[in-house]
A and B are shown apart, each in its own frame.
Chain A
Amino acid sequence: MVIAAIQPRYPLPAFPSGAVEVAPASWTARVLSRFVLAGYGLRLGQSGRGLPQSNTSRTNQTAPFLLRPSDCSGRTGPLGALLLAFWLGFMSAGWVQAAPGFRAELEEDSVAAGETATLKLIFTDLGNVQPPALPELPNCTAQFAGSGSQIAIVNFERSSSIIHQYVLQPKAAGVVEIPALTVEVNGQRYTSNPLKLRVGQGFDTAQLGFLKLVVPKTEFYVGETVPVEIRFYFKHAPARQNPPKLELDGFIKGKEHTDNLPPETINGEVYSVVRNALALTAAKAGELTLGPAEFETLYVFRSNRRRSIFDDPFFGGGGEQKQINFASEPVTIRVVPPPSVNQPSGFGGAVGRFSLDPVVASPTNVAVGDPITVRLTVRGRGNFAGLKLPEPAAGSGFQAYPGTNSFEEADVLGLEGVKTFETVLVPEQAGAQRLRLTPFVAWNPETKRYDSLEPRAIAVNVRPGLNAQAQPAGNVPVASATDTTPSRSGVATEVVPLKTELGPLLAFSPALVQRPWFLALLLAAPLLWSGLRVGDRLRERARQRGPDLRGQREQAVTGALAQLVTEAQAGRSAEFFAALNRALQEQLALTLGGAAGAFTEDVVATRLEPRGLPAAEVERLRALFEALAQARYSPVTSRRELDALAVSARAAVAALKALEVAP
């Protein structure tokens, strides 16, 4: 018979607020005796002051089912008092303390991968035992979920238990073995029973949707702020969901924004898309892993089982709730620091693309010690936090005071916007001053170089204060001190620095374009060019005339060769050799250039052999020259010899033609 109640499981209040023990029999009997003695009208709450408080005894003010002395406060009727006395007597008469122990229980002994199971570690009559740490479970995560207490009286055996609960979530199908756990309480060791959790195939989350981590690039600079998106593509909307989580190692999370994107069709399936955008700033260099992103959702599935009438949809039941967790793939990011080579001195870690508006300073006509408010506005996109407030250049004669800044976001993530710096400067010396501020320095990841935004110098007229000082040499106003003429274009009078370097002295001579020699020099080029072109034209004409002479010579060679045959047949030796001589001379003129008739036998060795005339042809030509020389004294008259010489001459002319240079 169980008559004690158990605290509700959820929510599980942290120990010790929920632990209650009924007092042991000894002091219960004393209460009973005092109650009986007091009789009607006795307040239990008052008598409870004398209750012995053991170190394990606690009073729970919130547990609804537990007997509390205060519940009995007030006057009770005689019947009630009698019943209470009877109950207490009944209770105290036969109580037996149960044996202390430690055991483990699983609420569900089989679950699907990805689902959760509850593990209870129950410490019976061991007092207040702290929750022990669970060992690493393969393919399963374990998380402490809270503690509770339980008082049970079974067959007059009373037991008090502390229950520590853990949520187990196996990741893959198989068996998760929970080993026997050992705890030491009051110097005595207690060991729990080992358990096995069977894990079936999990739910295929791809049927519902998937999670994607969208990173615009995989190489960041330290200090660079980049928008990252966690996109949840789903076919069926979850009943409930928690905000997505993202593992951030080495990144600083900035602003977040969630919105819906237009549905997308992927592999023929239409997915709704929820985008969770966030600004991430790389905080350290190295190969960093971003993600995975995780998204916990709760889906309600229609259940075929109907255990009771309350499972009917009319009562809001009939669905099976399932926690589905989606996870994206992690992304590896390479983070590099901005280069230290040629790093400007004012660089404070700002990374982005920025521009500087004209500097506004007011007033610019002040006395020594008067404050001047300077406002600088920087626009752009990037990590504005790294922009340092400019200071007056060293030795400028201005004292700077701490400034303020404000940022006006131009997008939901705060990546783009306008940052306004405002600072107060106080001039320390009188005179016409030029206020120069140090530049804003930022690393531009697009151009991969440092941008230096230098504020324009501001002209400030500083009047002497109580301790008047001389105006510093080097700067003068562009107007006379007494000039009150209003400016026609609203341009304010400024001070400008005097030129201190005289520079080279020169005369105001006429410009180059007004000097004849320069114009002549310019004209000389086209004139020279024209002259060269005319020369070209003349040469071209001469070259065009060339083929006429060449043609005549070719005709002469052809005619002479033809005549050789005729003269040989007729046996006219003198005419034959004259024709032979003409053929050779004209052909040599064609081959070597120059005038026909000037070639002797020497030309064979001096000009033809070097040009590569074959040896046989060399010999042939020499033989023909010798024949010509011999013909002067003893000409050949034999027709056969003349025919042979004609054939030889034809071959020699052909060989010489092969050596001709292209015109």
Chain B
Amino acid sequence: MRNRLGIWLLTIWITVSAAAVTPREHFESGNAHLARGQPAEALAAYGQIAPESTSAALEFNRGLAHAQLGQLGNALVRLRRAERLAPRDREIRRALAQVRARISGPAVPADPLGQTLGRLSLNEWAGAAGLAWWAWFALLLIARLGPVARQSVRGYTASFGLIATGLVFAALLAWWSRLREPSVVATQANAAVRISPLEEAKVAFTAGDGAEFRLTGERDGWFRVEEPASGRAGWLSGRSAGLVPVR
């Protein structure tokens, strides 16, 4: 009985230890392959890490590996995911610009508002707005304690009110801007954009590898997309496109 318990405990410890160490080992292994000019092996190593777990560094390095393989659409998806996680990382932005510069087809129109608000992630905007919002109400509550308390927080209450309102507005604006951003990226050359979400449907137009679309709907593994530059719309299969989550 005691031996069996020991084996169980050892198994759990090994599992936990392996789970804690493995992602880093895979990551470093992938980096080593990438540095040696073996992007396919690097992607294989990165792929060992659980798909639901990610980080900006992992997405970035995967993006570089795809870029070295010439898979510009996948590279763009990975780098944009990395940017969503670390919006102020200069290396990511530079690599993103490099990859976008190599993609053929119409460029996505510049969005100054989105670029400005994109300096913070959506969660950062929301967190800042929530904190300021609650701080404002905390000050209003303090002001209710009596005339002395009201007098001492009077200036702060007004300032926090303005800040909180501004941040909430900015967060909503960032959300709206993020929703309008092209978030679907074609990951195959000549990806077919069909008029309905069926393989048999007529092809409305084709998209090059790395073409970016605005997401207007989703059904059964299909994305309803709209081309930002031309406004053309259609359905793109999830197998030939990658999605950059709103974050």
Contacts and interface: CB of A to CB of B under 8 A. Distances in A.
Interface string B165-183: 0001001100100100000
B94 A496 contact: yes
B123 interface: yes
Interface residues of B, number: 62
Given A494-B94, A525-B133, A479 B67 contact: yes
Interface stretch (A44-52, A508-516, A602-610, A630-638): A508-516
Nearest to B99: A478
Contact of B126 (A487, A488, A493, A511): A511
Contacts of B52: 507-508
B94 A514 contact: no
A480 B130 contact: no
A502 B57 contact: yes
B130 A521 contact: yes
A483 B210 CA distance: 15
A500 B23 contact: no
Contacts of A491: 97-98, 101
Contacts of B104: 485, 488
A522 interface: yes
Contacts of A181: none
Contacts of A512: 122-123, 126-127, 130
B137 A480 contact: no
A499 B57 contact: yes
Interface string B68-91: 111000000000010001000001
B53 A505 contact: yes
Given A491-B97, A496-B95, A477 B171 contact: no
A478 B67 contact: yes
A10 interface: no
Interface in B31-68: 31-32, 34-37, 39, 49-50, 52-58, 60-61, 64, 67-68
Contacts of A394: none
Looking at A476, A482, A485, which has the most chain B CB atoms within 10 Å of its CB? A476
A262 interface: no
Contacts of B213: none
Interface residues of A, number: 47
A476 B122 contact: no
A506 B64 contact: no
A502 B23 contact: yes
A532 B64 contact: no
Contacts of A471: 35-37
A497 B91 contact: yes
Contact of B122 (A477, A481, A511, A528): A511
Given A479-B98, A481-B37, A528-B137, A518 B56 contact: no
B223 to A, nearest CB: 16
Nearest to A431: B35
Contacts of A522: 129-130, 133, 168
Which 4 A-B pairs rank lowest in CB-CB distance, beginning with the nearest? A499-B57, A473-B35, A512-B126, A491-B101
Interface of A: 471-483, 485, 487-491, 493-494, 496-508, 510-514, 518, 521-522, 525-526, 528-529, 532
Given A477-B68, A483-B102, A499-B31, 16 more contacts: A478-B67, A487-B101, A488-B107, A491-B97, A498-B64, A499-B57, A500-B31, A502-B58, A503-B57, A505-B23, A505-B50, A505-B55, A506-B85, A510-B246, A512-B127, A532-B141
27 contacts: A473-B36, A478-B64, A480-B67, A482-B70, A488-B103, A488-B104, A489-B107, A493-B98, A493-B102, A496-B64, A496-B91, A499-B31, A503-B57, A505-B49, A505-B55, A506-B54, A508-B52, A508-B54, A508-B81, A510-B245, A511-B126, A511-B178, A512-B123, A512-B126, A512-B127, A512-B130, A514-B246
